[in-house]
Chain A
Amino acid sequence: MNRVSGHARGALLALTVLLLHLALFSDLKVLGVAPELPLALAVTAGLVGGSERGAVAGFAIGLGIDLYLPTLFGLSAFIYAVWGYSVGLLEERIFRSAWWINVTITAIATMVGLLTYALLGELLGETNLYTDNLYVVMGVAALYSLVLSVPLLGMWRWSWPTLGRPRR
């Protein structure tokens, strides 16, 4: 499979998951909190594809979800790119790909990603982001990511099957 085919698969996967999030997962709320599927998708892209692909995938997924959010256009793209990159970098430099580590990293990155999103959003003048409910949102969304990261990691591996681990 060539590089173009890998990118096409990745784009198709991102689009499909984004639409599934809009149509289904955003309604599956527990304690009033929906899964943060797009953020988990960006983080798992970094875990499977490394920092570069994580940043690019995070940016693209963020732009996609920004179309439907009332916050400033580009805010999710910024945060998702940062976390896609950071998690990819961690994976390349520190962690190895044990499945439970990847799953845990996805959950933690979801929590921190939501926190940075709320803080940056408030800094840019958005309201109702940093609320009393934020820590509940972070906790429940992290639990969701814990579960959803397993299929998401599998799907990214399907998208980029020939991806070699970066040489150190």
Chain B
Amino acid sequence: MVAGTRSRRSRVILIFLLLSSVTLLTLDARDFGPLQRTEEILINLLSPLHTGLDDLFDPVGDGWAGITGYDELKDENEALREELQRLRGQQILESDAVTRLEALLAQVQLPYVQDIPNVVAEVVTANVGNFDRYSVQINRGSADGIRNGMPVVTRGGLVGRIDGDPQRGYSRVTLISDPEFEVGVLVVGTDDVALASGGGDAQPLKVHKGLEIETEVVIGGQVVTSGVDRSRYPPGIPVGTVSAIDFDDARLEQLLTVEPSANAYNLSFVTVLLYDPLASDT
């Protein structure tokens, strides 16, 4: 009798909880403001504890990454040594290369992104589960002028875009590695606007649409955002470097593999470009 009552009570509680979950799912899907504000308040309340523990355990996480990723670290170290040697050899040419790149960008009429207002933000949460490999949370939001879709960059170039309507003090960033991420690009020195998309975890980007077969592209070519009419991204943000070229004979297009110019992993700080394509039209 007691077991039966207990069992019935458990079922009623479960049904109530599941209905509550469904309600929350529905409200979140509809971007219900009060729910988002409540989430933000809770994150703010937990933030000091979260940050404190983060700082405390950072060395442990780094140590673990060193142990489990020893082979990758070794390879990376080797690659960095080679890169250092190459850079030493090219040191004298370096300033000239920058000048040439600037000249090239100017040639294809790409303005510099430094003129665009921006907000520097700290990455507060990254990859807390196994299903959020392509997104991070930053500590700046709508109060700082951030809006859905704005480009997110680091010194190296484009790393992602703001995903969804930001909260007052927080935003979520979809990283460029996300296979769903698409950006209009231009291979510097060509006129073809193509479409690049994320290649997944630690994979290069793919340029798979819009690059005609006769367009001359070289390995090592710079890829930047195209900034075509109403694009979410201003022109000239570095995206990556061409590392392989294939041909789609059926569609008469080139397929490029592009190594991202900015590292989208282990981000600490990012810059959000407060870029509004509609405003820049006027």
**B179 to chain A: which residues have CB within 8 Å?**
128
Whether the pair A20, B128 counts as a contact (CB closer than 8 A) is no
**B172 to chain A: which residues have CB within 8 Å?**
70
Whether the pair A19, B46 counts as a contact (CB closer than 8 A) is yes
Instruction: List residues of chain A with CB under 8 Å of any chain B CB.
Output: 19-24, 26-30, 32-34, 36, 50-52, 55-56, 59, 62-63, 65, 67-75, 77-78, 81-82, 85, 88-89, 114, 117-118, 121, 124, 127-129, 133, 137, 141, 166-168
**B27 to chain A: which residues have CB within 8 Å?**
73
For A26, give its contact among B22, B128, B163, B180 (CB under 8 Å): B128
Knowing A36-B130, A167-B2 are in contact, say whether A23-B17 is a contact too (CB < 8 A). Answer: no
For A78, give its contact among B18, B53, B57, B64 (CB under 8 Å): B18
Chain B interface, >50% SS class: helix
Query: Interface with A: B35-43, B147-155, B241-249, which one?
Result: B35-43
Give the interface size bracket for B toward A. Answer: 35 or more
For A69, give its contact among B6, B42, B128 (CB under 8 Å): B128
Nearest neighbor of B130 in chain A, beta-carbon distance: A137
Whether the pair B128, A77 counts as a contact (CB closer than 8 A) is no
Whether the pair A89, B50 counts as a contact (CB closer than 8 A) is no
Most buried by B among A77, A114, A121: A77
Chain B, 123-148, CB within 8 A of any chain A CB: 125, 127-135, 137
Whether the pair A59, B3 counts as a contact (CB closer than 8 A) is no
Query: Distance (Å) between the CB of A114 and the closest chain B CB?
Result: 7
What 1/0 mask marks residues of chain B from 46 to 84 whose CB sits below 8 Å from any chain A CB? 100110011011001100110010000000000000000
